[in-house]
Structure 1
Amino acid sequence: MNFIAPINTDLLLEESQKEDLYLKLIEQINKDFNLANEGIDFPMSISPEDLKIQLHEKIYRLIQYKFAEYLNLLYIIDVSEDQIKKLDGSDLVQLAEQVSFLILKREWQKVWFRNKF
């Protein structure tokens, strides 16, 4: 059984719900953000759309105001450095959206593997 990452945030969140792993995804995000001392406490009742928006806003603020903490978060979550380097940083809003997707993708990978194996 191979892990194939969804190609965008909406598909990823949809798949996590289909596989009944959406709550595990929220738990994993909360856990890793807390490990990075960037407390974020998404309630288990948060909708996928709100999760997407709030995560994007949090990443945007980290990039803009707390860059060292942002880098630490990426390290703790284990987002691929190569993927981050490929992003175009000229538009911060777009960059934050792309990084949010990479974070979700990595967190989804962790949850998916833990569930399958």
Structure 2
Amino acid sequence: MQLPQTFEDLISEAEGFELYSKLIQQINKDFLLANIDLDFDESILPSSLKYMLHEIVFKLIQEKFAEYLNLLYITDVSEIKIKRLDGSDTLKLSEEVTFLVLQREWQKVWFRNNYS
């Protein structure tokens, strides 16, 4: 599986496979497991999803770092990918982490759809 390299590619792939709602369900499930109070409606617009996830990740990095680390653990984002990011700009870092979370969530949905 080749992971999408942009948010737009990820969303178009999810919609192309008709798995966008499954992606939202997976995000909701993992955020709940990470004890983050969040419940996206399956009909949320992709732009709103991106904005809200970015905002949440930014707040977690700034205010609740332990919960941020727990989210990365629950979603199973690669530690190597996180370490490669430049942490000097928190806003940019949170945007990149948001995309890595979305990529990983998409990967889970795609594998489940193709191999179950």
Residue 112 (str. 1) matches residue 78 (str. 2): no
- Please give the secondary structure, in 2, of the residue aligned with 1:46: coil
1:48 aligned residue: 46
In structure 1, list runs of 5 or more residues that go unmatched. none
Paired with 2:37 and 2:59, the residues of 1 have a C-alpha distance of 13
In structure 2, list runs of 5 or more residues that go unmatched. none
Bigger Cα displacement from structure 2, 107-116 vs 39-48: 39-48
Paired with 1:18 and 1:65, the residues of 2 have a C-alpha distance of 37
- Residues 33, 73 of structure 1: 8 Å contact kept: yes
2:56 aligned residue: 58
How many correspondences in the alignment? 115
Paired with 2:78 and 2:112, the residues of 1 have a C-alpha distance of 19
- Residues 63, 70 of structure 1: 8 Å contact kept: yes
1:2-41 maps to which residues of 2 (within 5 A)?
3-41=1-39
TM-score using structure 2 length = 0.97
Displacement of 1:104 in angstroms is 0.3
- Residues 13, 22 of structure 1: 8 Å contact kept: yes
Displacement of 1:9 in angstroms is 1.2
Paired with 1:92 and 1:10, the residues of 2 have a C-alpha distance of 22
Paired with 2:46 and 2:81, the residues of 1 have a C-alpha distance of 24
2:75 aligned residue: 77
Backbone CA RMSD of aligned residues: 0.6
Paired with 1:37 and 1:49, the residues of 2 have a C-alpha distance of 24
Identity of aligned residues (%): 59
Which amino acid in the other structure matches residue 34 of structure 1? L
Bigger Cα displacement from structure 2, 6-15 vs 81-90: 6-15
TM-score using structure 1 length = 0.96
- Please give the secondary structure, in 2, of the residue aligned with 1:15: helix
Displacement of 1:95 in angstroms is 0.4
Paired with 2:91 and 2:66, the residues of 1 have a C-alpha distance of 18
